[in-house]
Amino acid sequence: MSARPIATTRSSAGMPTQRLAVWWLIASEIVIFGGVLASYIMHRLAHGIWADYAANTNAWIGAFNTFVLLSSSLSAVLAHQAAERGDGKRAANLLYLTIAGGGVFLCVKAFEWTTEISHGMTITANTFWSFYYTAAGIHAAHVIAGMIIMGFVAQTAKRNLELHRVEIIGIYWHFVDLVWIFLFPLLYIAK
């Protein structure tokens, strides 16, 4: 008798249950991020001065982080392809590369925030910076969560076990990338 959880084998919904679950998760995440971004947009449109506040954000840092996340998404999808071919070791290595991408993203973010905070642009400075740190902070928390989960997935994938998980964490990671694709122009470009 197999000890595998039923969620990894059942597909009554037309696809494996764990993949369905991650899509449900993403649907709920859209509501969370969508609410924050919609609130930001309506305040941004209502207040001309927010363009002056946004001018303090560094577009090149934002662009570099976009590049990092897009690159990590590439390694995540390549890991999925490797898992599809049954090459768990390559999948694990690519997942580690993706984790490294997340690490670079967070380091750049830490440097950026340190600079901004040292110049008085703190979360309590005004409403713009409240939105800025809240939106980017929630996103960074998702990056951290993804990195941790990906670490566990890579551990098992390395032994050619539970390779279906590679796709699942990949879908989540692409969503995190997708959120940043919208955060970047909102927080860094529109000045």
Partner 1 sequence: MSNHAEAHHDDSHYYKIYFTLLVLLTISIIGPMFGHKHVTLVTAFGIAVVKAFLVAKNFMHINLTPRYVIYTITTTLIFMLLFFAGTAPDVMKDHGTNWEKPSWIAAQKAYEAGDLVGASHGARITGHGAGHGEGHGEGHEAAHGEADAAAHGGGHEGGGH
| Dihedral sign of CA atoms 14, 20, 26, 32 in order | positive
Does residue 141 bind partner 1 (CB under 8 A)? Answer: no
Does residue 77 bind partner 1 (CB under 8 A)? Answer: yes
Does residue 119 bind partner 1 (CB under 8 A)? Answer: no
Shortest reach from residue 165's CB to partner 1, in Å: 9
Does residue 100 bind partner 1 (CB under 8 A)? Answer: no
Does residue 154 bind partner 1 (CB under 8 A)? Answer: no
Buried b (16+ CB within 10 A) or exposed e, 149-188: bbeebbeebbeeebbbbbbbbbbbbbbbbbbbeebbebbb
How crowded is the C-beta side of 185, counted as CA atoms within 13 Å?
Answer: 5
CA–CA separation, 183 vs 187, rounded Å?
Answer: 6
Contacts with partner 1 in 11-50 (CB under 8 A)?
11, 13-16, 19-20, 23-24, 26-28, 30-31, 34-35, 37-39, 41-43, 45-50
CA–CA separation, 76 vs 150, rounded Å?
Answer: 10
Residues 6 or more apart from 116 whose CB is under 8 A from it? 56, 57
The residue ranges that bind partner 1 (CB under 8 A) are 11, 13-16, 19-20, 23-24, 26-28, 30-31, 34-35, 37-39, 41-43, 45-50, 52, 59, 63, 66-67, 70-71, 73-74, 76-78, 80-81, 83-84, 124-127, 130, 163-164, 166-167, 170-171, 174-175, 177-178, 181-182, 184-185, 189-191
